[in-house]
Amino acid sequence: MARQIISTPNAPAAIGPYSQAVKVGNQVFLSGQIGLDPATMEMVEGVEAQARRVFDSLAAVAEAAGGSFADVVKITIYLTDLANFGVVNEIMKSCFAEPYPARATVGVRELPRGALVEADLVLVIG
């Protein structure tokens, strides 16, 4: 199957040698997003604002691929401080409806650009 590269100006441009997402058949693999404002490429302030920006960016990439959060089968969230789990969990809950996708939340020492939260997704469309 051919790979289709997915890109949208409504999410931050890649800050390294990767694509925003890659679609193969009906599966879409979204790269991790951090709390960068796509217009300025500057980090938004605070864990709540960063988490909202992360989910907004992931939604934009999912839409560019022809999907939505309803098509998400797996999400991985990376936090530099697991004390922020509750805040991020509530924001995620506002973005997804039941049945929720599978999820892993991982505590990490550091994220690019000093981000506090990062997330990536896998979609299955159709």
Task: Copy the structure tokens of residue 8.
Answer: 């949208």
Give DSSP secondary structure letters for 79-99.
Answer: ES-GGGHHHHHHHHHHH--SS
Best CA proximity match to 99, nearest among 71, 120, 126, 122? 71
Residues 85, 79: contact at Cβ < 8 Å?
yes
Q: Give me the pLDDT at residue 1, please.
A: 79
Domain ranges of the chain: 3-124
List average pLDDT for each run of 10 residues in the chain, which is 126 residues long.
95 95 98 97 97 98 98 98 97 96 98 98 96
Q: What is the pTM of this model?
A: 0.96
Q: Give me the pLDDT at residue 59, please.
A: 98
Q: Give me the pLDDT at residue 53, please.
A: 98
Q: Give me the pLDDT at residue 126, please.
A: 87
The hierarchical CATH code for the domain 3-124 is 3.30.1330.40
Q: Give me the pLDDT at residue 99, please.
A: 95
Task: Copy the structure tokens of residue 43.
Answer: 């980090």
